[in-house]
Amino acid sequence: MALQSMTGFARARREDDAVAVVWEARSVNGRGLETRLRLPQGFERLEQPLKQRIGKRFSRGNIQASLTVSYGVTSRRPVVDEELLFTLAGLARRLQDEHGAAPARADGLLALRGVLDLPEADALDKDGQERIEALAFDAFDAALDDLERARGAEGEALKKVLEGQIGQIEALTLQAEADPARSPASIRGRLAEQLRLLLETAEGLDEARLSQEAAILAAKADIREEIDRLKTHVVAARTLLSGQGAIGRKLDFLAQELNRESNTLCSKSNASSVTAIGLELKAVVDQFREQVQNLE
């Protein structure tokens, strides 16, 4: 299955000479797979089979689908209360003969409440109901096909955005790695200068102890591990993006790890140039994580 976004819309219609069915399906972001179906009265028993169809195609997203059924006259056999009709017709004739009322028309009599009834789907015969349900399933499968294509098209567009952001993360990582200020020698030099100034302005300080502490601080300020882990995460993200299927959760985990490493890089930096790179890195990682939330 190709990379998919969790957002999309689809509409499908099927009809014959008696009935028309229309499905509209919408998909938005969700932590897991959630489905909601709006079905006309008489179609409730289709809910579980329809949800199973959704579950076979999608693994994440909040999917809502609504069914509209429009009946032609031929799809519902009219039921006429003939006894009531003849009673009303006789009353109309008597009013005409005795009071000069206008003659009653057939359409007027049939329009009277209780004379004519057009049953809905739950009152159709078994063959008629099964025919409509078959159309509903066919239209539903077509709507899911279109929804899958829509999510896939948006997923491909999102993939390009994510690949660009991974490229930025890699470039900033390499920039931090190459920054002269982060080399151990440079760090020790800055700490040595601070130590010299401190010894010049204070009396009674243990120079050996201060040197030892400076060496420890220099080791802690080294961001080699963070750079290595950032590189590893970049490779992992590219591998996921080049694959198939639902990768949103895995990329979200990687985004959290990238954010953790960029935070650590900023906290360990003792040079303004590396801090600036770290802050820019954090901004790109945040954008990456935000986009990842849209993936299945």
User: Mean of the pLDDT values across residues 118-127?
Assistant: 56
Q: Is the pLDDT of residue 89 over 80?
A: yes
Number of structural domains (the chain) is 3
Do 278 and 198 fall within a single domain? yes
Q: Is 157 in the same domain as 91?
A: no
| Residue 1 within a domain | no
Answer yes or no: is 42 within a domain: yes
Is residue 271 one of the residues assigned to a domain? yes
With bands split at pLDDT 50, 70 and 90, how would you rate the model's confidence at 103?
Answer: confident
Q: Could you tell me the CATH number of the domain that includes residue 179?
A: 1.20.140
The last residue of one of the domains, among 90, 117, 144, is 117
Residues 15 and 95 occupy one common structural domain = no
* DSSP line for the chain: ----BS-EEEEEEEE-SSEEEEEEEEEE--SSEEEEEE--TT-GGGHHHHHHHHHHH-SSEEEEEEEEEEE-GGGS--EE-HHHHHHHHHHHHHHHHHH-PPPPPHHHHHTSTTTEE---GGGS-HHHHHHHHHHHHHHHHHHHHHHHHHHHHHHHHHHHHHHHHHHHHHHHHHHHHH-GGGSHHHHHHHHHHHHHHHHHH-SS--HHHHHHHHHHHHHHT--HHHHHHHHHHHHHHHHHHTS-S--HHHHHHHHHHHHHHHHHHHHH--SHHHHHHHHHHHHHHHHHHHHHTTB-
Flag whether 266 is in a domain. Answer: yes
Burial-class residue 219 by CB neighbours within 10 Å (0-12, 13-18, 19+). exposed
Q: Give the pLDDT of residue 234.
A: 96
> Looking at the domain assignment, is residue 2 inside a domain?
no
Q: Does 189 or 103 have the greater pLDDT score?
A: 103
- pLDDT above 60 (res 3): yes
Q: Do 38 and 141 share a domain, yes or no?
A: yes
**What is the predicted pLDDT for the residue at 130?**
85
Whether the predicted pLDDT of 36 surpasses 90 = yes
Shared domain for 30 and 108, answered yes or no, is: no
In this model, does residue 121 exceed pLDDT 50?
no
Give the tens place of pLDDT for each residue, 234-246: 999 999 999 888 8
User: Are 91 and 62 within one domain?
Assistant: no
Same domain for 206 and 193, yes or no, is: yes
Q: What is the mean pLDDT of residues 189-211?
A: 63
Provide the pLDDT for residue 158.
94
Question: Domain check: are 168 and 239 in the same one?
Answer: yes
State mean pLDDT over 46-55.
Answer: 96
Closest Cα partner for 101 from 109, 91, 111? 91
Asked whether residue 273 is assigned to any structural domain, the reply reads yes
pLDDT band at 267 (very low <50, low <70, confident <90, very high): confident
pLDDT recorded at residue 88? 81
Least trusted range by pLDDT, from 63-77, 185-199, 249-263: 185-199
288 pLDDT above the threshold of 90:
yes
What pLDDT, on a 0 to 100 scale, did the predictor assign at position 203? 61
Task: For residues 39 and 143, state if they share a domain.
Answer: yes
Residue 7 has what pLDDT?
93
Average pLDDT over residues 43-63: 95
Q: Which comes out higher in pLDDT, residue 53 or 113?
A: 53
- Residue 3 domain-assigned? no
Is residue 211 predicted with pLDDT exceeding 70?
no
The pLDDT of 154-178, averaged and rounded, is 95
Domain extent, residue 93, equals: 79-117
Is the domain of 68 the same as that of 98? no
Query: Is the pLDDT score of 110 beyond 80?
Result: no
Q: Which of 20-24, 128-132, 210-214, 215-219 has the highest average model confidence (pLDDT)?
A: 20-24
Amino acid 191: pLDDT: 66
Res. 122 pLDDT band, cuts 50 70 90: very low
210 and 241 share a domain? yes
Tell me if 66 is assigned to some domain: yes
**Which has the minimum average pLDDT: 3-12, 62-71, 213-222?**
213-222
The whole-number average pLDDT for the span 222-229 is 88
Domain co-membership, 217 together with 284:
yes
Instruction: Compute the average pLDDT of residues 9-22.
Output: 92
pLDDT of residue 22: 97
